[in-house]
Amino acid sequence: MHASPYGTSVKGFRDGAGPRFVRMDPLLVLATIGLLACSIYAIASATKGDIEGSPNFFVYRQAAYAGVGLIFMFILSRVDYSRFREWQAGLYVGMLAAIVVVFAVGTAARGSRRAIDLGFFSFQTSELGKVLLILTLSAFAVDRMRRLGDRETTSRLVLLALVPAMLVIAQPDLGSGLVYIAIATATLFVAGTHWTHFAALGGLAAVAIVVVLVAAPAAGVEVLKPYQMDRLTAFVNPTENPAEQGYQQAQSLVAIGAGGKTGRGDAATQTKLDFLPEHHTDFIFSVVGEEFGFMGAALVLSLFALLIWRCLRILTMAKNLYGSLIAGGVTAMLMFQIFVNVGMTVGIMPITGVTLPLMSYGGSSVIVTLMALGLMQSIHAQAREMALTKGRDIAL
Amino acid sequence: MTPQLAWRVAMIGGVALIAFGLVFFRLWYLQVLSGDKYRAEANANQVREIKVQAPRGEIVDRKGRVLVGNRASFAVKVTPEKLPEDLSERRDVYERLGKVLAMKPDRIERKVDPQLDALPYAPATVKQDVDGRVAFYLMENRDDFPGVEPEQVFLRTYPEGELAAHLVGYLGEVNEDQLADERYSGVDLGDRIGQAGIESQYDRFLRGRNGASRLQVNAGGALVRPLTDRRPEQGRQLRLSIDLDVQRVGQQALGDSLGAFAVMNVRNGQVLGLGSSPSFDPNQFSKAIRQSDLDRLTDKDNGEPLNNRATQGAYPTGSTFKLITAVAALQGGLVTPDEVVYDGGSLVVGDVTFENAGGVVNGALALRQALSVSSDVFFYKLGQEANGTTLIQDWAKKLGLGRPTGIDLPNDLPGLIPTPEYRNEGFTEYERCVAKQKPTPEEISFGECGFLDRPWSVGDNVNLSVGQGDLAASPMQLAVAYAALANDGKVVQPRLGQRIEDSSGRPLQELEAPRARKLDIDAAHRQAILDGLRAAASEPGGTSADVFAGFPIPIAGKTGTAEKGAGRADQSWYAALAPYPDPKYVVVTTFEAGGFGAETAAPAARSIIEELFGAKAGDPPAGSSQD
C-alpha cells in the first residue's frame, strides 16, 4: 500500500483522539446515504397517488426503516466483527430457525410465506438470513483454512449454504435463495478454493438447472411454482398481455425508455397510472429511469459503483481472513442483487423477485442491507485501528 | 494480503466493471437512442381515443338548394372489453338492452358476435339510427349497461329522394383498398365514404375530419381524467351546377321509361341536369344497405337502377349522329354546303339495299334539307364515299365520342366508335374461337365467341354515317359533340362541381373547368349544319317541327331513332341546341324503347327547354335568357 498524500494530516487528526466514527469509510457512507436519499425521493414521487389521503405513506415508512437501519449500521461498525466467529454455531441455528419459523407463523402475501408479522412491520427473515449466512460461512471457511484444498471442505460449505437456500426457495422466495448461493460462491472464491472445485460445482449447477427447468416438469414433478417458471423464462419473450409475466418487463422497458435523457417528471405515466407493476419495490429502478431519465439512472448506478468499489477496497484492507471473507460475502450479495434487479428492469435478466439494495421499499431489505454495510464499516474501522497501532499508514 | 487474494479481488472487480458497463450501455440504448419510440409507446398506453364522427359537407344545387344533407342520430355500440366477461351477465345486459331497443337478445347476439369475431377490439354496432331519447337513457343509466355506448353519428339524407340520385351517388363503408390509398388518408376503418357519383368524386372535400374524445386511463383501463378533445370538423359544402328545377322536369319527362337526359351549358360545360331512369333512393345507402335491396338495384330485369344511363349508357345514337357525319364530310371535302344530292329513297351498296326510314323519297336536296328532313340516303352516300378512310371516325373522336367526356363523375366510360381495325381484329378473334372451340349454332347465337362474326365492310361505314351499327355513345357524349358545334368548335368537358364552400355557403374555392379543346371547323360549315338543325325543328317537313310548333324559344335540334335489332323497340333520341342562332344550352334526351325520336325524346327535351328558359308554349319568342 502506498502512502496517502493526506496521510499525515489524517493521522494527526486521529492521534488527537477524534471521534471513532470517522473510522468509517466516508465514501461508503456517502454512497449509502446518497442511495437512501434517492430511494426516498423516488418512492415519494412514485407512490404519491397510491394511497388516498396519505401521499407520503411509503415515504415516512421508508425513512423510518432507513433511520433504524442506520442506527444498526452505526452500532455494528463499532463492534469488532471477529466476535461473530465465536458465535457461528448459534448464528447458523438461529438463521435456520428464523427461516423455518416463517413456515409456521409467517404471513402470506401473494401466495408465498416470507415474513413474520411484528405488528408495526412484517419481517422477512430470509433477508436477515443473508447476513447471518455470510457470518457463519466465513467463520466455517476460516476454521477449515488449512484443509481448503479438500473436496470435503468445499462440499460441506456448499451444503451449509444449500440448506437455508432450499428452505428459502420453498417459501417460496427464489430471489433470496439465489442470493444465498451467490454468497456461498463468493465465500469459496475469496477463501481461495481451487478452480477444479468451481468447475465441478458449475457442472452440478448446470445439471440442477436442467433438472429443475426441463426434466422435472417433463416428469411431472413441480420443483418451482409455475409462476416462478414463467418469470424466469418470460424475459426471453416480453408480451403486451397484462396476465402474463412478460408484461411487467415490457412495461418496465417502456417506462425506462420513455424517460429519455432527462426524465418525464410528473408526466411519468407508466409509473403514475400503474402500468408499471411493483413500482416502489422490485421496479423502483424503472421509476428512476422514467421520472429522472438517463441522468437519474446513471446517478443511481454511479452511487452503486461507488458502493461496490469501496466494498472491494475494504475487502483488500481487512485485518484478517475472516474480515476479507465477510467483505467478500457482502460485496457478492450487493453485486448480485444490483445486477439481477437492474438487469431485470432493463430486460437483460429474468424476473426473480430480487430487491434493489437500499433503493427498493421495504424494511427488512433496507435494514439488513444497512447491517451488512455496518459490518463493512466495522472491517474498515478494525483495519484502521490495526494500522494505527502498528504505526502503518493506510491510504484513504 | 496474499497475491492470490489480490488476483481474485481484481477478478470480482472486473466482473463488476463489465456488469456496470452492460447496464450502462443498455440504459443508453433504451433511453437516449430509443427514447422517442418508448415515449410514444407510453403515450399510446395511457390515451384512449373515442372517435367523434365529423358530419360530411352538404351538396347544394346552383341556387343553394340542398340535394344532400345530414341528420344527427345515434348508433348503439358495445365495447368488447367493457362487456361483462361472464356470459350470463352479458346475456343480462343484452336482455336489458333489448328491451330499450325493442330487439330480442338473440338478435343482438347474432348481430354483435360476428363483428367481434372479425375485429375483436373494435366496438360492434348493435343498432344504427337510434332515437336521441333512447341514447340519452342509455347514457344516464350507464351502470345498468356496462360496455354499451351510444355514439353520435351523422346519417346522410337525400331530401329529393330519387331525383339526381345517380349524380350525387351514395356512401358506403371504406374498403381495404381505399384504406391503403393515400387519397383516403385520415379515413379510419368503419368510416363511411362516398362510393359513387359526386359523393365519391369530391369525397376529399365533402368528408370532414373526425374528432376524438381523448381520455387518460390507467393500467386497469379506468378513466383518470379527460384530455383535450379534438373537435370534429365538418366537411366542405359543394355547390353543383345542377338546377334542381331543370333536374326535376327532366326526370319527370323520363317518367317510368328506361332512359336518360343531359343538359349542359355549351360554353363552359356546366351541367344543369343529368338524369337516368329508373332511379333509386340513395337514402337506402345512408345506413348499411341490405343485400336484397342491393340486388334489386343491380337487377337487369329491374332496369339496373344504379346504372347511370346519362354517362354510362352505350347506345347507337341514330340520326343524331348525322351532325358528326356532316362535319366530317364538309371538313373532309366530300360535300359542300350547297351541293345537291338526289335521294331516291334507297341506296344499293354491293348486294345490300339501304333505305330511308319509312321508305320515303326525299328527292334532290342539299345538306340543310338533308338534316331537316333527316334524309338517310344523303348520309349513306357520304358514309359510302368515306369508306376506306377513317374520316367519320376521326371526327367522331374529335367531337368527343369514343373517349371519356372528362365529366367529374366516376366511371366515365369511352363508349365505342366502330373502325375497320376494330371489326377486323374482332373477327380474327371470332374465327380463331370458332375454330378452336367449335361452338354449336346456338352457342354462337348466345355470343360464345363474341358477335363480330364478319369483317369490316363498306356497309358498316354506311351504317355509322346515320348512327347505327356498332356505335356506342352516351347522352353526355352526344351533348358534348353538339355543344362543340354550337360553341365555335370548342369541345368542353362537362362539369358538375362548381364551388367549394364552407358550411354557411361562403365560397372557399372555385372549381375551374378544364380548358376546352378547340377544333378547327369552317364557320360556314358550322353555320350550314346549325341551319339544318334549326330547319328540322322549325320548317315544314322538319323532323321535330311539329313538336316545337309555336314554341317561343328558337331551337335547333335533331331527332334520332336507333334500331337495336329484330324484336327490340327502337331507341329514341333528341339533341337540341337553344336558343338559335347563338345557342347557350344543349339538351339531349334518350328513351331506350321510345320509337321515333320525334314522338318521345323531342317532347321530353321540349319540357326541359321550357324550364330552362322559364317559357311556356304560346309565350312570345324570347332571345334573352336567364341562368
pLDDT tens sequence across A174-197? 889 999 999 999 999 999 888 999
- Say yes or no to pLDDT of B287 above 60: yes
| Inter-chain residue contact A269 with B13, CB threshold 8 Å | no
pLDDT at A8 over 60: no
Weakest-pLDDT range from A358-362, B107-111, B375-379, B414-418: B107-111
Q: Residue B199: pLDDT above 50?
A: yes
> Given CB atoms, is B14 within the 8 Å cutoff of chain A?
no
Q: How far apart are CA B39 and CA A294, in angstroms?
A: 13
What per-residue confidence (pLDDT) applies to A51?
Answer: 78
Mean pLDDT of chain B: 87
By CA distance, what is B23's nearest residue in A? A343
Q: What is the pLDDT of residue A340?
A: 94
Residue with cell 415515504: A59
Please return the burial class of B616, using the count of CB atoms within 10 Å of its CB with bins 0-12, 13-18 and 19+.
exposed
- pLDDT tens digits along A300-351: 999 999 999 999 999 999 999 999 999 999 999 999 999 999 999 998 888 8
Is residue A145 scored above 80 in pLDDT?
yes
Q: Which single residue is written with the C-alpha cell 365538418? A: B234
Evaluated on CA atoms B53, B55, B57, B61, the torsion sign reads: positive
Give whole-number Cα distances, B521 to A203, B484, B518, in Å. Answer: 101, 10, 9
Q: Do the Cβ atoms of A192 and B4 come within 8 Å? A: yes
pLDDT of residue B357: 81
Contact B9 A297 (CB under 8 A): no
Residues B374 and B405 sit within 8 Å (Cβ to Cβ)? no
The pLDDT score that the predictor gives to residue B227 is 73
Any idea where the domains of chain A sit in the sequence?
Answer: 34-193+225-387, 197-224
Whether the predicted pLDDT of B595 surpasses 90: no
Q: Decide whether B49-240 matches B244-419+456-613 in CATH topology.
A: no
Percentage of chain A with pLDDT > 90?
A: 52
Whether A270 and B42 lie within 8 Å, measured CB to CB: yes
| Bigger pLDDT: A9 vs B224 | B224
> Out of A351-355, B379-383, B444-448, B569-573, which region has the weakest mean confidence (pLDDT)?
B444-448
Interface membership of B64 toward A (CB under 8 Å): no
Quick check: helix, strand or coil at residue A333?
A: helix
Cell match 407510453: residue? B42
User: pLDDT > 70: what percent of chain A?
Assistant: 87
pLDDT, averaged across chain A: 85
Across B604-611, average pLDDT? 93
Q: Residue A1: pLDDT above 60?
A: no
Tell me whether B219 touches chain A (CB under 8 Å).
yes
Neighbours of B358 (CB within 10 A): 8
pLDDT of residue B112: 84
The distance from CA A392 to its chain's CA centroid, rounded to whole angstroms, is 33
User: Is residue A348 less than 8 Å (CB to CB) from chain B?
Assistant: yes
Interstrand relation of B192-194 and A112-117 (parallel, antiparallel or unpaired): unpaired
Q: In this prediction, what percent of chain B has a pLDDT beyond 90?
A: 46
For residues B398-414, give the mean pLDDT. 91
Q: Would you say residue B626 has pLDDT above 60?
A: no
pLDDT of residue A10: 43
Please state, as a whole number, how many other Cβ atoms lie within 10 Å of the Cβ of residue B69: 17
- Better-predicted residue by pLDDT, B576 or B79: B576
Amino acid A66: pLDDT = 96
Choices 3.40.1800.10, 3.40.50.300, 3.40.710.10, 3.40.50.1360: CATH for B244-419+456-613: 3.40.710.10
Contact B150/B52 with Cβ under 8 angstroms?
Answer: no
A112 pLDDT higher than 70: no
- pLDDT at position B558 over 90: yes
Tell me what pLDDT residue B296 has. 85
B71 vs B347: CA distance, rounded Å: 63
Among A239, A254, A340, the strongest candidate for a mutation testing the B interface, having the largest count of B CBs within 10 A, is: A254
CATH assignment, B49-240: 3.90.1310.10
Average pLDDT over residues B140-156: 83
For the segment B442-494, what is each residue's pLDDT rounded down to a tens digit?
888 887 888 888 899 999 999 999 999 899 999 999 999 999 999 889 999 99
Chain A contact probe: residue of B31, B47, B223, B224 with most A CBs at under 10 A: B31
Please report which confidence band the pLDDT of residue A40 belongs to, taking 50, 70 and 90 as the band edges.
very high
Task: Tell me how far apart the alpha carbons of residues B108 and B524 are, in angstroms, rounded to a whole number.
Answer: 73
Contact B219 A273 (CB under 8 A): yes
Give the domain ranges of chain B. 49-240, 244-419+456-613
Identify which of B15, B31, B218 has the shortest CB distance to residue A260.
Answer: B31
Residue A224, all three cell numbers: 418451482
Average pLDDT over residues A375-388: 90
**B6–chain A Cβ distance below 8 A for any pair:** yes
Q: Average pLDDT in the A78-85 region?
A: 91
What is the pLDDT averaged over residues B360-387? 92
User: What one-letter code names the amino acid at A334?
Assistant: L
Cis check: omega of the bond before B581, within 30 degrees of 0? yes
pLDDT tens for B98-140 read: 888 888 888 888 888 877 776 666 678 888 888 888 888 887 7
Nearest to A342 among B8, B15, B23 (CB): B23
Percent of chain B at pLDDT > 70 equals 96
How many residues does the structure list for chain A? 396
